[in-house]
Structure 1
Amino acid sequence: MSSNKDMKLGIFIAAAGLIILLGKLGVFGFLGRALWPLVILIPGLFLHVLFFSRRASAAVLIPAGILTVYGLLLGFCNMWGWEYMRHLWPVLLLGVAVGLYEYAFYSAGRNGGITAFAVILGVLSLVLLVFSMIGTGVFYLLGILLVAAGIWLMLGRRKQGSRKKWNGGW
């Protein structure tokens, strides 16, 4: 019995030493700098899991939506650079809109006012996002995508005999 306790104590002491060594080498500092947005994202996803597994009411979807959107936004900025926040700040409003819309969509009561507010806030967020992106190169990408989609639609309509198109052969 004593050897079993000595084994557990030895594993605990070795693990503590390994943690101290990794901390002194800067591993935890790097992980903390790189992965801190997960501290916001994971609770948001966890609240979604609680609701969809029927362990919590629809009210948890408000903070779940907000935390999930904020965690994704902060993770993007942490990964690619904080200068993008200059253009992506309207996504903060979108997080609130997503949380309110999820609540209104999944709650049992009549939530017409909440739905309307969430949609208005979401549209406002998207309009502000478009205005903040005007000076960037995003519109070049959007233009290229629209041209490609138009060409794809024009070339796809020439084949009259094909029924496997996305439109079902209109």
Structure 2
Amino acid sequence: MDMSLIVNRKVSDGMSDNNKLMTGILILAAGVIILLGKWGVFSFLGKALWPLILLIPGILLHLWVFSRRGSSELLLPAGILVVYSVLFFIGIIWGWAFLFHKMWPAFILGIAVGLFEYYAYAAQRQSGMLLTAVVLGALSIILLGWSMFSFSFVYLLAIVLIVAGIWLIVARGNSRRLW
């Protein structure tokens, strides 16, 4: 048999082996995707992993600033997005009632983290930024403790005194004004 006849016959068969392989893989993938969808895998992933919509941009903003491509102002929303995504993951794991009933003060902490990161990495530090971040962070932690553990006034007073003492100890040798 002539070799050119064999080559011509293979070309005229319709699909090449590579096309058959790719078509087979696509059909197999479509079948697996449909089966997983019927089993509820995608609805579970959609319910469980949607906070990644906040976490990924928050991390990317951090990377963008730390690679010196973005300005430090981007750290404010980056910090908020990361903290809020962690809170939403907690809501998925322990329930939304727990998140909104007990952990609501942590949303204030997200703003405090964003403000603190911006203050820490800004080229020109704005007056009052650190004080605002610390006050919001302390308020958030105090309210979070109160909410989670139903603290009485004595515990609240003790925490305020401890935070004030730590603040004075940390700021004692610092000649530059913190607020």
Same fold (TM over 0.5): yes
Report sequence identity in percent.
Answer: 54
CA root-mean-square deviation = 1.9
1:38 maps to 2:52: yes
Hey, what does 1:79 align to over in structure 2?
93
Structure 2 unaligned spans of 5+:
1-14, 152-179
Amino acid aligned to 1:128: L
After TM superposition, the runs of 4+ consecutive aligned structure 1 residues lying more than 6 A away are: none
1:112 maps to 2:139: no
Matches for 1:158-169 after TM superposition, within 5 Å: none
Quote how far apart the aligned CAs of 1:11 are: 1.6
Quote how far apart the aligned CAs of 1:128 are: 1.6
Structure 1 unaligned spans of 5+:
137-170
Instruction: Provide the TM-score with structure 1 as the length reference.
Output: 0.71
Quote how far apart the aligned CAs of 1:73 are: 1.1
Amino acid aligned to 1:83: A
In the alignment, the residues of structure 1 paired with residue 126 and residue 103 of structure 2 have an alpha-carbon distance, to the nearest angstrom, of 29
Instruction: Provide the TM-score with structure 2 as the length reference.
Output: 0.68
Hey, what does 2:163 align to over in structure 1?
none
Tell me the secondary structure at the aligned position of residue 63 of structure 1: helix
In the alignment, the residues of structure 2 paired with residue 112 and residue 13 of structure 1 have an alpha-carbon distance, to the nearest angstrom, of 62
- From 136, 142, 147, the equivalent of 1:121 is 136
In the alignment, the residues of structure 2 paired with residue 134 and residue 28 of structure 1 have an alpha-carbon distance, to the nearest angstrom, of 37
| Rg comparison, structure with higher value | 2
- From 133, 146, 150, the equivalent of 1:131 is 146
Quote how far apart the aligned CAs of 1:110 are: 2.3
Tell me the secondary structure at the aligned position of residue 108 of structure 1: coil
In the alignment, the residues of structure 2 paired with residue 110 and residue 30 of structure 1 have an alpha-carbon distance, to the nearest angstrom, of 44
In the alignment, the residues of structure 2 paired with residue 109 and residue 76 of structure 1 have an alpha-carbon distance, to the nearest angstrom, of 35
Amino acid aligned to 1:76: I
Matches for 1:12-23 after TM superposition, within 5 Å: 12-23=26-37
Quote how far apart the aligned CAs of 1:39 are: 2.2
In the alignment, the residues of structure 1 paired with residue 52 and residue 120 of structure 2 have an alpha-carbon distance, to the nearest angstrom, of 26
Change in 2 beyond 3 A, CA 1:62/1:8: same
Change in 2 beyond 3 A, CA 1:9/1:55: farther
